[in-house]
Structure 1
Amino acid sequence: MTDILAPWTAEEFEAQLRGKSSSYHIHHPFHRMMAAGTLTPAQLRGWVANRFYYQISIPLKDAAILSNCDDREIRREWIQRILDHDGRNIGATDGSEDPGGIEAWIGLGLAVGLSRDDVTSLRLVAPATRFAVDAYINFARRQPWQEAVASSLTELFAPHIHQQRIDTWPTQYPWVDTQGLQYFKQRLTQARRDVEHGLRFTLAYFSQTRALQERALQILQFKLDVLWALADAIMLSQCEIEILGAKP
């Protein structure tokens, strides 16, 4: 049916993509608890520790996109995402050093009371967390790079959740060192830049036919489902810890 329908206009297509916000994990019960300030210290630490597996996987996902991409202009813009997370000019003495988002997330771990080893050893990462994140990495490796680019558009909805944490954590979780919120502050700008690039490409490439537009929506939903499954995994793992009486 979609093959015989006219493509949506660019404005209509973008509205369809943005309409997927209702499936974003900001609406997940665990994230709603986080926003309400009702997570325990152990639960917040568990979230930070588990999400670190996602953070260290982002550059692997982006490297997979680059390895499959034969468009030089796309590669020249996309590589910035790897530098944002892995850092750049490490050890530079000219002021250009940026330790990157992964290091900033480790700083978040320290701010919530975890040690560096707690975070980087991955010993607190639930099996279901690994499964959800690995599914996304495998998608980026195996699918056409154009589809992997479209999957990144969950960033459309990210600035709001980052700003929410910046605004609410100092009062709802006053025991968290506010210096640890640097990751969220960095991503406010970076995510908006990434969205502009990814959305521009997706609107141009997938607007050739209605079928392609529908495929882009399916891809975006897949990524939203990954993030939701990740939140499920974290919430269930923290419930198990509480039932067993263990503390991360």
Structure 2
Amino acid sequence: MTTTPVRDTTAQDRQNPWSRPEFEERLRDIATTRYHDRHAFNVRMHEGALTPAELRRWIANRFHYQRHIPVKDALILAKFGDPALRRMWLRRIVDHDGVREGEGGIERWLRLGEAAGLDRERLWSAEDVLPGVRLAVDGYVNFCRLRSPLEAVAASLTELSAPGIMRTRIAAFEHHYPWIEEEGLAYFRTRVEQGSRDSAEALALVERWALTREEQERAVAALAFKCDVLWSLLDAVDGSGERP
């Protein structure tokens, strides 16, 4: 008796790239289902359940991430051979470092810290940065240093979910944490528009570069890794002190 060989559909399917809509759907699904807005610490923050000490601990440790954003973007920019791409990506560095002293996202985060009662010199000193936060941030910076331009850019696509969490955070801070001065929320307000713009640009690059199924899967994995970085950062912050 003869038998018909069973076709390995899984192997064959993996040779075929997803359509652009399906690829984008997969990226957006990762950015939605694994984003750190679902983390218990963020949920408690947005519900108004954090103590002042917990909120200050988050601000101080998140600053360690914020101050490294221009570093990772400089590493990504250095991978580009196209001057037009470098000019586009350079704007991200300027957004955080500013054109001159007293401007940019890092300065706005320092003002958030001051509005919450933290000293900016102590924030810069990194004395309060937890080991788990250092490990998560170092892992992300090194990822951008060592991986391909596709993977480094794809990892930035957590920005797809950033505008939503910023709007939620602004409302939560205004309602639940009125002891933080209004000026301290400037970082969140600015990132609503910047996040929308940055994610659209990065998504266009990833869709243009990821032409094979393997490249698409590497892009999805890179985005999942970045979600893990942000989640791990909150794990460290949430686990470092007693809950009220």
1:79 deviates by: 0.4
Aligned to 2:3: none
**What secondary structure sits across from 2:207 in the alignment?**
helix
1:2 deviates by: 6.6
Deviation sequence 1:53-88 (CA, Å, 0-9, x none)? 000000000011112222222111000000000000
1:141 deviates by: 0.7
1:11 deviates by: 1.1
Aligned to 1:93: none
Q: Unaligned 5+ residue runs, structure 1?
A: 91-97, 244-248
Question: Which stretch shows the higher mean deviation, 117-126 or 103-112?
Answer: 117-126
Deviation sequence 1:186-217 (CA, Å, 0-9, x none)? 101111110111000001111x1112111111
Q: How does 1:74-223 map to 2 (within 5 A)?
A: 74-90=85-101, 99-206=103-210, 208-223=211-226
Aligned to 1:12: 22
Task: State the TM-score, normalizing by the size of structure 1.
Answer: 0.90
Aligned to 2:6: none
Q: Tell whether the 8 Å contact from 1:3 to 1:209 is kept in structure 2 after alignment.
A: no
1:121 deviates by: 1.4
| Structure with higher helix content | 1
1:89 deviates by: 3.7
Structure 1 residue 48 and structure 2 residue 27: aligned? no
- Moved segments of 4+, more than 6 Å: none
Aligned to 1:95: none
1:3 deviates by: 6.7
Q: Which amino acid aligns with 1:216?
A: A
Q: Tell whether the 8 Å contact from 1:46 to 1:238 is kept in structure 2 after alignment.
A: no
1:224 deviates by: 0.4
Structure 1 residue 27 and structure 2 residue 30: aligned? no
Distance (whole Å) between structure 2 residues aligned to residue 190 and residue 131 of structure 1? 27
Distance (whole Å) between structure 2 residues aligned to residue 6 and residue 236 of structure 1? 43
Q: Which amino acid aligns with 1:67?
A: A
Q: Tell whether the 8 Å contact from 1:155 to 1:192 is kept in structure 2 after alignment.
A: yes
Aligned to 1:238: 241
- How well do the aligned residues superpose, as a CA RMSD in angstroms? 1.5
Q: Unaligned 5+ residue runs, structure 2?
A: 1-10
The count of residues paired between Structure 1 and Structure 2 equals: 233
Identity, in percent, stands at: 47
1:113 deviates by: 1.2
Q: Tell whether the 8 Å contact from 1:163 to 1:188 is kept in structure 2 after alignment.
A: yes
